[in-house]
Structure 1
Amino acid sequence: MKHLLSFILALTISLFSFSQTATRTITKIKGDLYRFQNNGHYSVFLITDEGAIVTDPINKDAATWLKAEIKKRFDLPVKYVIYSHHHDDHVSGGEVFDEAIFVGHTLTKKNIEDKKIPTPVPNETFKTRKLITLGNQYVALIYPGKSHSDDCIAIYFPDEKVVFGVDFISVDRLPYRTLNGAFLPDWIQAIKKVETLDFDTFVPGHGDMGTKTDVKEHREYFEALYNAVKEAKSKGQSLDEMKRSILLEAYKDFSQYDAWREMNIEGVYNFLTKK
């Protein structure tokens, strides 16, 4: 009996450990640009003759794995780490890339310092645009304005015609829950600025990759949501009434429609009520 209990305990621990193993993959997007998955989070990296340009490290374990994979597959050091914004579920673990230059928006630097997020503070910052050149390849960093946070940027790879944007644009998916204290209507204008770029592929920080058309559809969803809540509020509807009447049926096939539609309405309502 004692041996049986020991076996069951060992098996339980083994199964628990297996269930905790992260799903990590690297897939080519185009040319020397790759997408890195860590469970439900994604970042991208560019391989050049002189080293790798990495975006969000995600967390320490993910960054450790990615650094080792880049070394194993390409035998190159990581030269730059670019932060998409300051939220810790994307930028944690940067200390793994201890020889890299860290780059982020000026507000990202301030937010990391103010909130004491455990990751290196950017060595280089910018306010509107910045170009990073390495090994005859380059990446453009563009601040489109406030959106999901006050510091989200678009990371643009012109040669590949790819844009990487985290948390403020999704593909065929509703924005996250109550919009995280969103900046509206600034968010809509930020997406419009991304649409002015010359790109074919959009890579989000969560979910599937898409196209420029998908970015446009996400912006149109936001416009429909914002305008519907604003109009309902002007008519004196309560939040509960809005949740029942604002159906946004044109987007019912989007992922998380059933789970997050009412939360999205609540997020816009909270924003308009605070104004």
Structure 2
Amino acid sequence: MNRRFPLVTAHAGCMGIAAHTLRSVRAGLELGADVAEEDIRVTRDGVAVLAHDDELPTADGPIASVAGMTYAELSGLRLLADQGAQEGGEPETFRLLKLEDILPLIQTSGKAINLDLKVDEAIEPAAALVRKFGLEDRAFYSGCQRDRALLARKLEPALRRMLNADVELFKTMPYDEAMAMTREDALAAGCCGINVYHGIVTKAFVDYAGERGLPVYVWTVEDEALMRRYADWGVGSITSRDVKTLLRAKREWTAPDA
């Protein structure tokens, strides 16, 4: 019987490399990930850039604001990486990248990109770049809870979107009710799947979403035993910083005698 392993998604900053850098994107793709995930924000002048947080520490001390500064202002700053520095060494620095800087890598690799939107303002600039590089079939939005997913459907209906499951919902409601509301929100926003923190996912959730054609993508998984468990449950994708371990789990999971 043929078994299909979940898509391997390389988290921004995979393999201990500073997040939101070309080195990190290349590392995930060259190792064999199916999808590269990147966080998207927008500068004051509307440029889509790679950044998880709005406030970014700089090597010179001041805090930079993505939303409050132009790309030209931000591009001249040395930003401090949140990972990737050698132990006992100097903190690693990097320059802010535009989304446009990494899309040629996605284009030539034949792989997909997960655009994790951190602000509503990123919806349209990101979609414009996806069209520019002809990646409509290989790009999708995540980072969309109900309101952002609905807005994305209104503004850019052709670009696929995943509903981000609201963790707080699962903390404050009975699990079955939270599961049902999440599925209905995904369907109402025309989502192609559900993106969920792995700590709240269950096989029942995966099966329930799958009944309506909604694959469940889980993030961020670093433990190999959990990777195997989620693969057994039939999730659509596993996001990890440890791409090597995830790919090893894939090879062993799909082996004939696995």
Same fold per TM (> 0.5)?
A: no
Q: What is the TM-score when the length of structure 2 is the normalising length?
A: 0.26
TM-score scaled to structure 1, two decimals? 0.25
